[in-house]
Structure 1
């Protein structure tokens, strides 16, 4: 489950790229049609309209079984449908509502007090910051782009303050910056400083 945050995006992209229709098994729960006595229909009895959904469900289940370790798969509480397996994965990763709330509070505090640690390089700061932002987004905490940029800018040491002042002096361009572009500019600035020091 520690790998879940990076795995989930790769898995979703892979399934949607290889066979987008299969992804529908995740989005809409498939309920197996049953006879009057409550038993599942035989394959030969499945209605033509249901066959496409049945095949999607089986393909998705196969992908789950190949992609999720059996120990984790067995612990997921679900009724066997791909939709509910996905929901169980999300819940297992995010924790119960109380745990989620606690994690969200902790991440918000961590964001508020985020700053550069003594002896830390800009590259290490950026890695730590990106990890924090990704964790926040994973739990549904999202902020305006300028808030992310300003927080990263505020966390820089004296060397970075000059860079930030230069960026902020051009208000129009600064207002249009995304966090990714700001980080690229910051990395380029840091590279220039290192070259001058050599």
Structure 2
């Protein structure tokens, strides 16, 4: 009963712990991708998690695994696969399991992939970056947003800095290069007179 009372008296602390576990992962589960907006930071955490857990398994993300086929072009049954290929197959399945644990079902369903870990990893990257036209549009929008960046009425200093940092990070992620003095001038110009 004391445990229930502790839970009911501090639900926000429990929610914070759950959110932290989803974001960072634990020794038993990988970090969770709940929104595509979180992909850039999630990808780094997931890569570190996967490599730390088992680097051999992580290689299935970097090299496409193709299930061996017989002379008729059909997949071999697991019992017919050579031991070396079985090892690769098992690594592929372990990493696929991690992806299924880590990626929210709604995101996983809309990814265009062939079922291999390699294709899932690249489908996530493509979904984040978009097609070339979409990327071009995003870049143009960010450049324009940077050009007109200023403090919004009623916005606190902390909110201004947070919005500015987000804008700069997005620009860097899409490889929009500005000189340091351009970043400094833009922020200085957006600050209130007082």
- TM value normalised by structure 2: 0.70
User: What is the match of residue 71 of structure 2?
Assistant: 36
Runs ≥4 in structure 1, deviation > 6 angstroms? Answer: none
Hey, what does 2:191 align to over in structure 1? 156
Is residue 2:117 matched to residue 1:54? Answer: no
User: Is 1:66–2:101 an aligned residue pair?
Assistant: yes
Aligned to 2:6: none
1:109 aligns with 2:139: no
Alignment partner, residue 160 of structure 2: 125
* Counterpart Cα distance in 2 of 1:142 and 1:23: 32
Residue 147 of structure 1, CA deviation:
4.1
Quick check: which one's helix share is greater? 1
Q: Which runs of 5+ in 2 are unaligned?
A: 1-35
Q: 1:18 aligns with which of 43, 48, 53?
A: 53
Tell me how many residue pairs correspond in the alignment: 159
TM-score between the two structures when normalised by the length of structure 1: 0.68
Structure 1: gaps of 5 or more residues? 160-198
- Larger-gyration structure (1/2): 1
CA gap 1:51/1:100 in 2 versus in 1, 3 angstroms: same
Sort the Cα spacing of 1:48 and 1:110 in 2 relative to 1 into closer, same or farther, 3 A: same
In the TM superposition, residue 145 of structure 1 has moved relative to its aligned partner by 4.7
Distance 1:21 1:154 in 2: 50
